[in-house]
Amino acid sequence: MVINDNSVLSSRPALADEIGKVAEVAGYLWEKGWAERNGGNITVNITEFVDDALASVPPVGGPVAIGAEVPLLKGEFFFCKGTNRRMRDLASDPMSGGSIIRVMEDGLSYEIVADAAVKPTSELPSHLSVHNWFKAKGLPYKASLHTHPIELVAMSHHRPFLEKDVLTYLLWSMIPETKAFCPKGLGIVPYELPGSLKLAEGTIRELEDYDVVMWEKHGVFAVDEDIMKAFDQVDVLNKAAQIYMSARAMGFEPAGMTRAQMAEISEVFHLPK
Ligand code: 2HA
Ligand code: ZN
Predicted confidence band at 234 (pLDDT cuts at 50, 70, 90)?
very high
CA pair distance 98, 231, nearest whole angstrom: 18
Cβ–ligand 1 distance for 41 under 6 Å, the answer: yes
Provide the mean pLDDT of the chain: 95
Contact, 56 vs 112, CB < 8 A? no
Q: Report the SS3 class of residue 100.
A: strand
CA pair distance 138, 201, nearest whole angstrom: 18
CA 219–ligand 1 middle distance (angstroms): 9
pLDDT of res. 195: 86
Closest atom of ligand 1 to 84 CA is 1
pLDDT in tens, 95-126: 999 999 999 999 999 999 999 999 999 889 98
Mean pLDDT of all residues in 81-108? 97
Cβ–ligand 1 distance for 194 under 6 Å, the answer: yes
Mean pLDDT of all residues in 62-66? 94
Closest CA to 2 of 100, 114, 96: 96
Put the strands of the sheet holding 41-45 in their side by side order.
61-65, 109-114, 98-103, 77-81, 41-45, 143-147, 219-224, 212-215, 186-189
pLDDT of res. 3: 52
Query: pTM for the whole thing?
Result: 0.95
CA 35–ligand 2 middle distance (angstroms): 9
Cβ–ligand 1 distance for 61 under 6 Å, the answer: no
CA 12–ligand 2 middle distance (angstroms): 31
76 is catalytic: no
Length of the chain: 273
pLDDT of res. 4: 54
Q: Which of the residues 18, 76, 123, 206 is marked catalytic?
A: 123
Cβ–ligand 1 distance for 13 under 6 Å, the answer: no
Cβ–ligand 1 distance for 147 under 6 Å, the answer: no
Closest CA to 171 of 261, 266, 257: 257
pLDDT of res. 161: 98
CA 41–ligand 1 middle distance (angstroms): 6
Which residues have C-beta under 5 Å from ligand 2, the single-atom ion? 219
Alpha helices in 140-183 (DSSP H): 150-155, 166-172, 177-181
Cβ–ligand 1 distance for 37 under 6 Å, the answer: no
CA pair distance 164, 186, nearest whole angstrom: 9
Contact, 107 vs 74, CB < 8 A? yes
Task: Give the phi and the psi of residue 2 in degrees, each rounded to 5.
Answer: -95, 130
Helices then strands, counting H and E runs in the chain, come out as: 11, 9
Mean pLDDT of all residues in 66-75? 96
Closest atom of ligand 1 to 83 CA is 1
Contact, 80 vs 98, CB < 8 A? yes
Closest atom of ligand 1 to 122 CA is 1
Q: Characterize 199-238 residue by residue with b for buried, 16 or more Cβ atoms within 10 angstroms of its Cβ, and e for exposed.
A: bbebbbebbeebbbbbbbebbbbbbbebbebbbbbbbbbb
Contacts of 251 (CB under 8 A, 6+ apart): none
Strand 186-189 to strand 212-215: parallel, antiparallel, or no bridges (unpaired)?
Answer: parallel
Contacts of 1 (CB under 8 A, 6+ apart): 20, 23, 24, 91, 92, 94
Closest CA to 214 of 256, 267, 162: 162
pLDDT of res. 273: 62
Cβ–ligand 1 distance for 217 under 6 Å, the answer: no
Higher pLDDT, 226 or 126: 226
Supply the residue whose CA is at minimum distance from atom 4 of ligand 1. 39
Q: Which of 36, 89, 123 to mutate to test the pocket of ligand 1 (most atoms within 8 A of CB)?
A: 123
Closest atom of ligand 1 to 40 CA is 2
